[in-house]
Amino acid sequence: MAVAVAPKGRKSKQDFINESFELIAEAGTADALTIDSVCLRLGVSKGSFYWHFKGRDSLIDGLVEAWSGNFHVAIHSAIEAQTADNGRTVIEEISDYWLSSNMSKLDQVMRHWAQHDERVYNAVRRADELLLDFLKDNIRTLGYGEEDAYRRARLMMAIGIAEPMLAHLPKAGTDDKELQWILDGVLGLTRPK
């Protein structure tokens, strides 16, 4: 069976998915996701879009599939590869990624969208399960038991989800100092000696 290859100059399916995530994160709403808006951002015709997708619903299916698995797995794997599997450093790096990228904005959009679309809800639930396991496993490397690691991972996720909603309030210190205070003081994830 022959595999369809996009003609030269056309964007890949992943390009459309990545650009769609960027678009909704910047807009702050999934309502901004249209075929025209994605094609305009990528500088391609609708023909390029229809090479990969049947329509907007098909694109949403691609976003849902990516969000519920490979998108997060790729982020987790990249962070672990950079940190030599040091649990505390992994936790710091994922927190830094969350704060320094558009990930928290995208997460807010996905959570809001999930309230109105069961496909997105299931993707968010699966992504949360992946993140919870990722955090819990790394916290366990710091010497915590299963229950304590689970509680700390869940609390860390709750803080990460809520923090962007409080962006309008001033912080007591720099982002780095606030993160260290949360990790050390709130979550008790002190650096191993």
The CATH number of the domain where 144 resides is what? 1.10.357.10
Please determine, for residue 8, whether its predicted confidence score (pLDDT) is greater than 70: no
Same domain, 90 and 155: yes
Q: Note whether residue 125 is domain-resident.
A: yes
- Convert the pLDDT of each residue in 122-177 to its tens digit: 999 999 999 999 999 999 999 999 999 999 999 999 998 998 888 888 888 888 88
Entry pTM = 0.85
Domain containing 27 equals 13-66
> Do 81 and 96 sit in the same domain of this protein?
yes
Within a domain: residue 193?
Answer: no
Assess contact for 87 and 142: CB atoms under 8 A.
yes
Does residue 75 form part of some domain?
yes
Q: What angle do CA 123, 25, 61 make, to 5 degrees?
A: 35
- State how many domains the chain has: 2
Mean pLDDT to the nearest integer, 2-18 = 70
Both structure tokens of 151 = 């509680």
What percentage of the chain reaches a pLDDT higher than 90?
A: 54
Claim to verify: residue 87 and residue 149 sit in the same structural domain: yes
Q: Which pLDDT does position 178 carry in this prediction? A: 85
Q: Are 105 and 181 in the same domain?
A: yes
**pLDDT of 102 strictly over 90:** no
Q: Which one is predicted more confidently, 74 or 83?
A: 74
Which pLDDT value is given to residue 174? 86
pLDDT in the model for residue 2:
38
Could you tell me the sign of the dihedral formed by the alpha carbons of 142, 138, 163, 193, in that order?
Answer: positive
Tens of pLDDT, residue by residue over 32-70, are 999 999 999 999 999 999 999 999 999 999 999 999 988
Does residue 6 lie in a domain region? no
Give me the pLDDT at residue 193, please: 52
Together in a domain, 61 and 76: no
Q: Render pLDDT for 107-118 as a digit per residue (tens, 0 to 9).
A: 999 999 999 999
Rounded to whole angstroms, the Cα distance separating 179 from 173 reads: 9
Which of 114, 116, 118 is CA-nearest to residue 161?
Answer: 114
- Would you tell me how many other CB atoms lie within 10 Å of the CB of residue 125? 12
